[in-house]
């Protein structure tokens, strides 16, 4: 029977499911199926640019006059764009990412979206995370991959979320995923007080309680597991020494921890984190430029660190955002909820360049960029070309792959 996602809980920095029989140990992930590429020590980092990143001011169509007509105050000046070619370029605050692009480490996939797009943050985020635009699904696509990959049940860290709440994308039915906001916050607060721990154990096991519930036993197991996990994780990653300095931003700190986890070979296959909010209805230039600079600088530090340890080739980062923004600016120096937008594939086996069709600002969907690449095609490419698992085991349907991965 499938585990309901509502059995997933979060307690002071730890989010786990109901299955609590793990033993904390180093373990390599399962090998890919015969005939599919992928190595057992490959890692996927999924980075959510939360809030709806404006793709047109991120990957700028500076060769299209309609862009400047529709955004008289928000458009990025042609002289400021970090040019890719005569038509496209990066936002000027993304110079660090442009450096990675020039090294062939960044693939830009244009026009990514899905049919009949939803403009709600909540529903569209759910669609991207579950890979189910046409139905409500209680597991995430990464959770289903982790279930399918036959990973060692003894390893708690097959997947890791570097956020305080477990995202839906990581929810599966077999593999539990911890939510670790930071190494220091991982565990229960009562773990640090032996008296409280003993009192808690007595309460959970007290037969005099006027009711019986199997969930009390689960709660106790979660408590015990978090305590052991918070002791084990520092030992597993403690030998890793970052090469260089990360930006002193939440994303910089999160990616520094991601490098420790990926570089320590503890069997982690997928790491999730998020950055934002990119919900720029007002004052977009200041907000988005700051967030893009933080993303760009942190990503450059991350891959420089990985490269210094020989890990840049085994860590692939995929960004996504629940939607882009409308083409025309609004009356508040911002943009409203839109549809298709670019995403980035960085490092790993990326074949750098631009993929997909450039946005057509004249052939729109009610003023929004039309999608030309189904996001499930990107997922299918990653599943089969990077993680070495059949996409059909995870996604409902068959989707064309893109050529952005070796």
Tell me, yes or no, whether 144 lies in a domain: yes
Interaxial angle between packed helices 214-237 and 194-204, expressed in degrees from 0 to 180 and rounded to the nearest 10 = 150
How far is residue 345 from each of residues 45, 58, 70, 319, measured CA to CA in Å? 10, 14, 29, 7
Neighbours of 202 (CB within 10 A): 9
Tens of pLDDT, residues 90-104: 999 999 999 999 999
Mean pLDDT, the chain, integer: 87
Section 243-248 average pLDDT = 95
200 pLDDT band, cuts 50/70/90, is low
pLDDT over 90, % of the chain: 73
Candidates 391, 392, 379; CA nearest to 169 is: 379
Tell me, yes or no, whether 401 lies in a domain: no
Whether the predicted pLDDT of 231 surpasses 70: yes
Q: Residue 269 is part of a domain; what is its CATH number?
A: 3.40.720
Token pair for 147: 């279930």
Tell me, yes or no, whether 402 lies in a domain: no
Tens of pLDDT, residues 153-185: 888 899 999 999 999 999 999 888 888 988 776
Contact in structure between 377 and 401 (CB atoms under 8 Å): yes
pLDDT over 70, % of the chain: 81
Q: What is the pLDDT of residue 101?
A: 98
DSSP class of residue 276 equals E
Distance (Å, whole) CA 297 – CA 319: 15
Number of domains in the chain: 1
Query: Which structural domain, as residue segments, surrounds residue 269?
Result: 5-393
Q: How many helices (H) and strands (E) does the chain have?
A: 9, 13
Tell me, yes or no, whether 399 lies in a domain: no
Contact in structure between 226 and 14 (CB atoms under 8 Å): yes
Across-strand partners of 149? Answer: none
Tens of pLDDT, residues 2-20: 333 333 333 333 333 333 3
- Percent composition of the chain: helix, strand, coil (DSSP 3-state, to 5): 35, 15, 50
Tens of pLDDT, residues 68-95: 999 999 999 999 999 999 999 999 999 9
Q: What is the pLDDT of residue 94?
A: 98
Tell me, yes or no, whether 405 lies in a domain: no
Tens of pLDDT, residues 266-316: 999 999 999 999 999 999 999 999 999 999 999 999 999 999 999 999 999
Tell me, yes or no, whether 400 lies in a domain: no
Candidates 297, 321, 253; CA nearest to 117 is: 321
User: Which is more confidently placed, 234 or 250?
Assistant: 250
Whether the predicted pLDDT of 219 surpasses 50: yes
Whether the predicted pLDDT of 61 surpasses 70: yes
Whether the predicted pLDDT of 1 surpasses 50: no
Q: What is the pLDDT of residue 11?
A: 32
Q: What is the pLDDT of residue 230?
A: 74
Tell me, yes or no, whether 57 lies in a domain: yes
Residues 6+ apart with CB under 8 A from 89: 59, 60, 62, 81, 82, 83
Q: What is the pLDDT of residue 361?
A: 98
How far is residue 401 from each of residues 59, 340, 388, measured CA to CA in Å? 22, 18, 14
């Amino acid at each position: 029977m499938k585990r309901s996602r509502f059995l997933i809980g979060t307690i002071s920095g730890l989010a786990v499911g109901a299955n609590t029989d793990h033993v904390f140990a180093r373990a390599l992930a399962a090998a890919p199926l015969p005939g599919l590429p992928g190595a057992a020590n490959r890692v996927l980092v999924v980075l959510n640019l939360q809030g709806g990143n404006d793709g047109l001011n991120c990957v700028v169509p500076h060769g299209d006059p309609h862009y400047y007509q529709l955004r008289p105050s928000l458009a990025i000046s042609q002289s400021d764009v970090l040019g890719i070619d005569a038509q496209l370029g990066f936002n000027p605050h993304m110079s660090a990412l442009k450096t990675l692009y020039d090294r062939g480490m960044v693939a830009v996939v244009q026009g990514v979206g899905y049919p009949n797009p939803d403009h709600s943050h909540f529903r569209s985020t759910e669609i991207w995370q579950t890979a189910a635009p046409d139905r409500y699904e209680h597991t995430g696509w990464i959770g289903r991959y982790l279930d399918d990959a036959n990973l060692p049940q003894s390893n708690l860290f097959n997947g890791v979320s570097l956020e305080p709440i477990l995202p839906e994308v990581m929810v599966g039915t077999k593999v539990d995923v911890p939510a670790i906001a930071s190494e220091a916050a991982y565990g229960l607060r009562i773990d640090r007080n032996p008296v409280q721990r003993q009192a808690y154990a007595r309460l959970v096991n007290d037969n005099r309680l006027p009711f019986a519930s199997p969930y009390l036993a689960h709660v106790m197991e979660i408590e015990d597991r978090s305590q052991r996990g918070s002791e084990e994780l520092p030992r597993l990653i403690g030998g890793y020494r970052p090469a260089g300095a990360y930006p002193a931003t939440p994303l910089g700190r999160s990616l520094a921890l991601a490098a420790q986890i990926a570089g320590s070979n503890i069997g982690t296959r997928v790491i999730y984190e998020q950055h934002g909010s990119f919900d720029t209805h007002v004052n977009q230039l200041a907000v988005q430029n700051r967030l893009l600079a933080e993303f760009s600088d942190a990503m450059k530090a991350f891959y420089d660190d990985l490269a210094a340890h020989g890990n840049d080739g085994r860590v692939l980062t995929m960004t996504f955002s629940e939607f882009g923004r409308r083409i025309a600016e609004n009356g508040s120096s911002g943009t409203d909820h839109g549809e298709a937008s670019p995403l980035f594939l960085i490092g790993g086996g990326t074949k750098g360049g631009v993929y997909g069709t450039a946005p057509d600002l004249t052939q729109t969907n009610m003023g929004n960029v039309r999608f030309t690449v189904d996001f499930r095609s990107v997922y299918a490419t990653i599943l089969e070309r990077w993680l070495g698992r059949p996409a059909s085991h995870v996604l409902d349907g068959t989707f064309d792959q893109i050529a952005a991965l070796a």
